Each structure stands twice: as C-alpha cells, then as structure tokens.
Structure 1
Amino acid sequence: MSQIKTNTKNHQIILRNRSHNKKYKLAIKTSIKKYLVSVKNAQTDLNKENTVICQNNLSLVYKRIDKAVKRKVLHKNTAARKKAKLAKIMI
C-alpha cells in the first residue's frame, strides 16, 4: 500500500466502485439464471402461463442489463450481445 494520500484515496474509490459494479453484475447473473429456469419449465410444460412467466423474466433481465449500461458497468455492445443470446434461447 502506498503512503501518498492521493494514491490511498484512489485505492478507496476503486474498491468502492468495484463493489458497486459487482452488485449490478450479480443481479444480472441471478436474473439470467432465473430466466433460464423458466425457459426450461416452459419447454417441458407447454402452458400459456409458463410462457408469460418466461417473458416477464426476460423483460426483467433486459431491464437490469439496460440499467447496468446506463450506470456504465457494462459496455453497450456487451449488453446487446447478452440480450441477443437470451432472445435466441426463447425461440
């Protein structure tokens, strides 16, 4: 650890931002897992309410990804790639 004040402050800022970004990324990962489980259930039981649940989970994933892009946690191209991959799974 350095002894210079600006370096120690910058290190604290980096740690703060890392934990903040980690929260967004974990929220995205958990919502993606929830969506994949709902897709699997919808494919096994061809039921209308399962597809509605699946669509709701997909919109939640999109919402979280868009919020991460807005907060500059994810790059917009990364977000677009993730969205396209998830949309392809639904088909």
Structure 2
Amino acid sequence: MNHDIVLEVLGACDKRREERRQFMRMAGAGAAIAGVSLLGACSGGNDGPGSVTTPSPTPTPAPTATPSSDENVLNFALNLEYLEAQFYS
C-alpha cells in the first residue's frame, strides 16, 4: 500500500469527524435556543392589555352510579359472546 494514500484516507476521516462535531455543536445550540424560546413563551405572566376573568363554575350534582345486578352483568357478558360469535363466523 502506498503511504500517501493511507495518509490521505486518514486526513479525510479527520475532516469528516470535525465536520460532524461542528454540526452537532450547531444542532445542540439550535435546540437549546428553541427550548429557551419555548419555555419563555410558556410563562404564566399576563402581559396582555386588560384583564381576563375566568367564569366561576356552577356546582353540578355528582352523578350517582346505578347498582349493577348480577342479571345485568350476565346479560352484558352474553351479548358480548353473541357479538364475538357473529364476528368470527
């Protein structure tokens, strides 16, 4: 093998490695700037004109669950079996 060719290949590898490192530095810096900008945009301050009031929620009665009887549960399971049989037939 020729000594000059080996040195040329090693030089090209070093150049590509340096280019990758430079790219990673720039990409990292861009991601950091984007992250800081995103966090700055998500601040909780109210810098807009006027004040925005939020309406107070009206109290709603909590829904009560109807008790399930054994018969209802078994009918539901039977209907599921019918649907399964119809699906696979």
Please indicate the TM-score interval, normalised by the length of the shorter structure. 0.3 to 0.5
TM-score, structure 1 as length reference: 0.44
Q: Which has the higher contact order (CA 8 A, sep 6+)?
A: 1
- Which has the larger helix fraction? 1
Q: Mark the structure with the bigger radius of gyration.
A: 2
